[in-house]
Amino acid sequence: MQSDRLQAFVDDVEVVVRGTADEHEITERVAVLMSALLADGYQLPPELTRPSPARPMTYPLHIAPDDSWSIASVVWDLDQRTNVHSHETWGVVGIYAGAELETRYLKPTTSAAPAPLTPAGETRWVPGQVNVCCTTDDDVHSVTAVGSEPTIGIHVYGGNISRIRRRSYDPATGETDWFTSGWDSPEPARVTP
Ligand SMILES: [Fe+2]
Protein backbone atom coordinates (compact mmCIF):
# COMPACT_ATOMS: atom_id res chain seq x y z
CA MET A 1 0.00 0.00 0.00
CA GLN A 2 1.29 3.46 -0.94
CA SER A 3 -0.17 4.90 2.27
CA ASP A 4 1.85 2.37 4.28
CA ARG A 5 5.05 3.41 2.50
CA LEU A 6 4.29 7.06 3.20
CA GLN A 7 3.53 6.28 6.85
CA ALA A 8 6.87 4.53 7.19
CA PHE A 9 8.58 7.62 5.75
CA VAL A 10 6.65 9.87 8.15
CA ASP A 11 7.65 7.69 11.10
CA ASP A 12 11.31 7.74 10.03
CA VAL A 13 11.37 11.52 9.55
CA GLU A 14 9.67 11.94 12.93
CA VAL A 15 12.51 10.04 14.59
CA VAL A 16 15.07 12.30 12.88
CA VAL A 17 13.26 15.53 13.75
CA ARG A 18 12.81 14.51 17.40
CA GLY A 19 16.42 13.40 17.67
CA THR A 20 18.28 16.63 16.95
CA ALA A 21 17.86 20.35 16.34
CA ASP A 22 20.87 20.47 14.00
CA GLU A 23 19.46 21.45 10.59
CA HIS A 24 22.45 20.05 8.73
CA GLU A 25 22.08 16.67 10.40
CA ILE A 26 18.29 16.67 9.88
CA THR A 27 18.49 17.52 6.18
CA GLU A 28 21.29 15.04 5.54
CA ARG A 29 19.30 12.23 7.14
CA VAL A 30 15.93 13.21 5.62
CA ALA A 31 17.60 13.33 2.18
CA VAL A 32 18.65 9.69 2.62
CA LEU A 33 15.09 8.76 3.58
CA MET A 34 13.70 10.71 0.60
CA SER A 35 16.05 8.95 -1.81
CA ALA A 36 14.79 5.60 -0.54
CA LEU A 37 11.14 6.70 -0.83
CA LEU A 38 11.64 7.64 -4.49
CA ALA A 39 13.75 4.56 -5.24
CA ASP A 40 10.96 2.40 -3.86
CA GLY A 41 8.61 3.83 -6.50
CA TYR A 42 6.30 5.54 -4.03
CA GLN A 43 3.19 6.80 -5.83
CA LEU A 44 1.56 10.06 -4.75
CA PRO A 45 -2.24 10.17 -4.49
CA PRO A 46 -3.36 11.31 -7.98
CA GLU A 47 -5.28 14.29 -6.61
CA LEU A 48 -1.98 15.67 -5.24
CA THR A 49 -0.30 15.63 -8.66
CA ARG A 50 -2.61 17.94 -10.58
CA PRO A 51 -1.16 21.16 -11.99
CA SER A 52 -3.06 24.41 -12.36
CA PRO A 53 -2.57 26.72 -15.32
CA ALA A 54 -2.77 29.63 -12.86
CA ARG A 55 0.29 28.96 -10.67
CA PRO A 56 2.32 26.23 -9.00
CA MET A 57 0.23 24.21 -6.54
CA THR A 58 1.26 23.21 -3.01
CA TYR A 59 -0.73 20.30 -1.60
CA PRO A 60 -0.39 18.97 1.96
CA LEU A 61 0.81 15.39 2.18
CA HIS A 62 1.52 15.35 5.93
CA ILE A 63 1.47 17.99 8.65
CA ALA A 64 2.95 17.11 12.05
CA PRO A 65 0.31 17.63 14.75
CA ASP A 66 2.48 20.26 16.42
CA ASP A 67 3.31 21.97 13.08
CA SER A 68 7.01 21.23 13.64
CA TRP A 69 7.42 19.77 10.14
CA SER A 70 5.39 18.98 7.04
CA ILE A 71 5.46 17.26 3.67
CA ALA A 72 4.13 18.98 0.57
CA SER A 73 3.51 17.83 -2.97
CA VAL A 74 4.45 20.82 -5.14
CA VAL A 75 3.25 20.75 -8.75
CA TRP A 76 4.35 23.06 -11.56
CA ASP A 77 2.59 23.10 -14.90
CA LEU A 78 4.82 23.32 -17.98
CA ASP A 79 7.14 26.33 -17.91
CA GLN A 80 5.77 27.72 -14.66
CA ARG A 81 8.24 29.43 -12.39
CA THR A 82 8.34 30.82 -8.89
CA ASN A 83 9.58 34.20 -7.84
CA VAL A 84 12.80 34.36 -5.82
CA HIS A 85 11.82 33.34 -2.32
CA SER A 86 13.03 32.14 1.06
CA HIS A 87 11.71 29.35 3.29
CA GLU A 88 12.94 30.45 6.74
CA THR A 89 13.47 26.84 7.81
CA TRP A 90 15.18 23.67 6.65
CA GLY A 91 13.91 21.77 3.60
CA VAL A 92 14.58 18.68 1.50
CA VAL A 93 13.21 18.23 -2.03
CA GLY A 94 12.83 14.98 -3.94
CA ILE A 95 11.97 15.19 -7.63
CA TYR A 96 9.04 12.91 -8.42
CA ALA A 97 8.25 13.84 -12.05
CA GLY A 98 9.27 16.30 -14.73
CA ALA A 99 12.36 18.43 -14.22
CA GLU A 100 13.15 21.63 -12.38
CA LEU A 101 15.76 24.29 -12.86
CA GLU A 102 16.77 25.73 -9.51
CA THR A 103 18.49 29.12 -9.42
CA ARG A 104 20.10 29.81 -6.05
CA TYR A 105 21.15 33.07 -4.41
CA LEU A 106 23.16 33.89 -1.33
CA LYS A 107 20.83 34.92 1.49
CA PRO A 108 21.34 38.57 2.32
CA THR A 109 21.91 39.43 5.95
CA THR A 110 18.84 41.14 7.32
CA SER A 111 20.89 43.98 8.79
CA ALA A 112 22.33 45.03 5.44
CA ALA A 113 20.66 47.60 3.20
CA PRO A 114 18.93 46.06 0.17
CA ALA A 115 21.39 45.25 -2.61
CA PRO A 116 21.25 43.10 -5.74
CA LEU A 117 21.26 39.42 -4.85
CA THR A 118 24.37 37.36 -5.52
CA PRO A 119 23.64 34.32 -7.73
CA ALA A 120 24.92 31.05 -6.30
CA GLY A 121 24.46 28.65 -9.20
CA GLU A 122 21.88 26.78 -11.22
CA THR A 123 21.06 23.08 -11.11
CA ARG A 124 18.71 20.98 -13.20
CA TRP A 125 17.03 18.33 -11.04
CA VAL A 126 15.36 15.23 -12.49
CA PRO A 127 13.21 12.41 -11.05
CA GLY A 128 14.86 10.37 -8.32
CA GLN A 129 17.26 13.16 -7.37
CA VAL A 130 17.11 14.72 -3.92
CA ASN A 131 18.47 18.06 -2.83
CA VAL A 132 18.71 19.98 0.41
CA CYS A 133 17.06 23.18 -0.71
CA CYS A 134 17.25 24.93 2.56
CA THR A 135 18.77 25.56 5.87
CA THR A 136 17.54 28.69 7.59
CA ASP A 137 20.69 30.60 6.66
CA ASP A 138 20.84 29.35 3.04
CA ASP A 139 17.34 29.09 1.60
CA VAL A 140 16.88 31.57 -1.27
CA HIS A 141 16.06 30.35 -4.75
CA SER A 142 13.65 30.37 -7.65
CA VAL A 143 12.41 27.29 -9.45
CA THR A 144 11.33 26.86 -13.07
CA ALA A 145 9.62 23.77 -14.50
CA VAL A 146 11.72 22.73 -17.48
CA GLY A 147 10.48 19.22 -18.23
CA SER A 148 8.14 18.06 -20.98
CA GLU A 149 5.52 17.12 -18.40
CA PRO A 150 4.39 18.85 -15.19
CA THR A 151 7.11 18.97 -12.54
CA ILE A 152 6.28 17.41 -9.19
CA GLY A 153 8.43 17.55 -6.08
CA ILE A 154 7.96 15.98 -2.66
CA HIS A 155 9.12 18.63 -0.19
CA VAL A 156 9.83 18.17 3.52
CA TYR A 157 10.10 21.34 5.61
CA GLY A 158 10.93 22.14 9.23
CA GLY A 159 7.51 23.62 10.00
CA ASN A 160 4.04 23.88 8.54
CA ILE A 161 5.26 25.50 5.33
CA SER A 162 1.83 26.94 4.57
CA ARG A 163 1.97 29.15 7.66
CA ILE A 164 5.60 30.25 7.75
CA ARG A 165 6.20 33.95 7.03
CA ARG A 166 8.63 33.95 4.13
CA ARG A 167 10.41 36.51 2.00
CA SER A 168 10.09 37.13 -1.71
CA TYR A 169 12.92 39.07 -3.31
CA ASP A 170 13.45 41.30 -6.29
CA PRO A 171 16.87 39.90 -7.21
CA ALA A 172 17.80 43.08 -9.11
CA THR A 173 17.41 45.32 -6.06
CA GLY A 174 17.27 43.02 -3.02
CA GLU A 175 13.96 44.55 -1.99
CA THR A 176 11.79 42.10 -0.04
CA ASP A 177 8.13 41.43 0.57
CA TRP A 178 6.67 38.96 3.04
CA PHE A 179 4.18 36.25 2.16
CA THR A 180 2.62 33.06 3.46
CA SER A 181 1.77 30.41 0.90
CA GLY A 182 -1.21 28.57 2.39
CA TRP A 183 -2.17 25.13 1.11
CA ASP A 184 -3.99 24.38 -2.11
CA SER A 185 -6.99 22.06 -1.91
CA PRO A 186 -6.72 18.94 -3.99
CA GLU A 187 -9.70 18.15 -6.16
CA PRO A 188 -11.47 15.08 -4.84
CA ALA A 189 -10.30 11.97 -6.65
CA ARG A 190 -12.65 11.00 -9.42
CA VAL A 191 -14.59 7.89 -8.55
CA THR A 192 -15.12 5.57 -11.48
CA PRO A 193 -18.33 3.61 -11.26
FE1 LIG B 1 11.30 27.01 -2.73
Residue 19 C-alpha to ligand 1 middle, in angstroms? 25
Judge contact between 78 and 37, C-beta under 8 A: no
For 164-181, the pLDDT digits (tens) are: 999 999 999 999 999 999
Residue 184 lies in a domain: no
Residue 146 C-alpha to ligand 1 middle, in angstroms? 15
Domain CATH for 41 = 2.60.120.10
- Dihedral-angle region of residue 88 (phi above 0 means left; psi in -120 to 50 means alpha; beta otherwise): left
For 46-79, the pLDDT digits (tens) are: 999 999 999 999 999 999 999 999 999 999 999 9
Total domains, the chain: 1
Which residues, in sequence order, are CB contacts of 133 under 8 Å at separation 6+?
Answer: 87, 91, 92, 93, 102, 139, 141, 155
Residue 99 lies in a domain: yes
The pTM score is 0.94
Residue 55 C-alpha to ligand 1 middle, in angstroms? 14
